Amino acid sequence: MRVALVQQRASDDREANRRRGLDALADAAGRGAEVVCFAELAFDPFFPQERATASKLDLAEPIPGPTTEAFATRAAELGVVVVLNLFERDGDTTYDASPVIDADGRLLGTTRMVHITDYACFHEQGYYAPGNHGAPVYETAFGMIAVAICYDRHYPEYMRALALDGAQLVVVPQAGVVGECPDGLFEAELRVAAFQNGFFVALCNRVGSEPRLTFAGESFVCNPGGEVLARAGEGTEEILLCDVNLEEVASSHARRLFLRDRRPELYGPWLGKD
């Protein structure tokens, strides 16, 4: 499977951002990508850097809706799987949401961010309700794909749940800023998650300077052994391509040993399935 991570800036013009995303999708597919992933709120400014207002909340869009329909049409034309991230509205409630579109253009489902944080420049509790779709894993044309949206990656029990449901690739749409994490700890965290759970991880980050935040980029892919296979530049707009061999999942330490030797009757059901 060839995975593409689209690392791009976002202006205040959603339509222009979406067009650039569609162009990037076509570019990635033309370079052999089979799964194309976008960063958190890829087609909008990062709204939570400011506290929520009614006018900002009005910008949330439905799923399915204009963005998913445009990408579904292009996905079917190109024969690629697409993982998006949008500010979703469902009735009176809004979410941080990642629709997953299969290579035939079908919307397989939507992952909603489960854990919602709130601190300076990340005022997310004013924008997002906690996700209510659980931790889905999608059977796509190219493999079993799941999504851990930004903050959810910090919860080992969430990542383990994805492994127990058969995820081979976990996509992490992120809004990570320059200097946010010392000593590469966030990357190390996901390398360990990949090793402990026996899946590939593909983190797709934003870039660009916005009023309160500068996003770092440095998207990367790591294998089930915890090794980084490819990494994008800091602050650069680019498409990171990486070939992954999904056969490595079944032969990983986690799938051969760690998951086999679990003792869930001792941990309690909140740490994973029996």
CB 213 within 8 A of CB 46: yes
63, HSE (Cβ side, Cα atoms, 13 Å): 26
Domain ranges across the chain: 2-271
User: Closest by alpha carbon to 21, among 1, 43, 2?
Assistant: 43
Distance between first and last Cα of the chain: 30
Task: Assign domain 2-271 to its CATH architecture.
Answer: 4-Layer Sandwich (3.60)
pTM (predicted TM-score): 0.96
* Per-residue pLDDT at 198: 98
DSSP the chain: -EEEEEE----S-HHHHHHHHHHHHHHHHHTT-SEEEE-TTTTS--GGGS---HHHHTT-B-SSSHHHHHHHHHHHHHT-EEE--EEEEETTEEEEEEEEE-TTS-EEEEEE------BTTB-GGGT-PPP-S-S-EEEETTEEEEE--GGGGG-HHHHHHHHHTT-SEEEEEE--BTTSSGGGHHHHHHHHHHHHHT-EEEEEE-EEE-SS-EEEB--EEE-TTS-EEEEPPBT--EEEEEE--THHHHTSHIIIIITTT--HHHH-GGGS--
- Phi and psi at 128, nearest 5°, equal -120, 135
pLDDT value at position 271?
55
Who contacts 243 (Cβ-Cβ below 8 Å, separation ≥6)? 1, 2, 3
236: nearest Cα among 35, 5, 31 = 5
Specify the pLDDT at position 274. Answer: 44
- Report mean pLDDT in 10-residue bins for the chain, 274 residues: 97 97 98 98 97 97 98 98 98 98 98 97 98 98 98 96 98 94 86 98 97 96 98 97 98 97 81 50
